[in-house]
């Protein structure tokens, strides 16, 4: 399933579309970016509330397919610009991390 298809399945809004054709193979939920660096897999959906430019740097480092920002946290312009440069899609959802993680798991493992 690619990022665009996942966003549609989750009812999430893509706020930065560069890279939306990337395949999503897993999910990883954390707000501790060092934890993401140590444990997230390539191709994952990074599920977090950390809506800032450092999240893009970490997502790029682990080769995440997409960043999913939960609880409708606002995504700042420098994050959007960095994600566009790095071709990392960002989507936003009103759901919390628990609900989003479950939904991503269910979609990827259908």
pLDDT at residue 110, rounded to an integer? 86
Whole-number pLDDT of residue 88? 97
Query: Strand 44-48 to strand 66-69: parallel, antiparallel, or no bridges (unpaired)?
Result: parallel
Cα–Cα distance measured from residue 102 to residue 9, given in angstroms and rounded to the nearest whole number: 12
Residues 6+ apart with CB under 8 A from 31: 48, 49, 50, 97
Note the pTM of the prediction, 2 decimals: 0.97
Low-confidence ranges of the chain (pLDDT < 50): none
């Amino acid at each position: 399933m690619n990022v665009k298809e996942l966003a549609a399945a989750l009812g999430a809004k893509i706020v930065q579309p560069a890279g939306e054709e990337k395949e999503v193979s897993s999910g990883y939920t954390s707000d501790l970016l060092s934890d993401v660096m140590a444990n997230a897999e390539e191709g994952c959906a990074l599920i977090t509330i950390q809506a800032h430019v450092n999240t893009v740097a970490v997502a790029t480092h682990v080769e995440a397919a997409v960043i999913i920002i939960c609880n409708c946290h606002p995504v700042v312009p420098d994050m959007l610009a960095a994600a566009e440069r790095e071709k990392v899609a960002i989507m936003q959802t009103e759901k919390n991390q628990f609900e989003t993680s479950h939904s991503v798991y269910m979609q990827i493992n259908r």
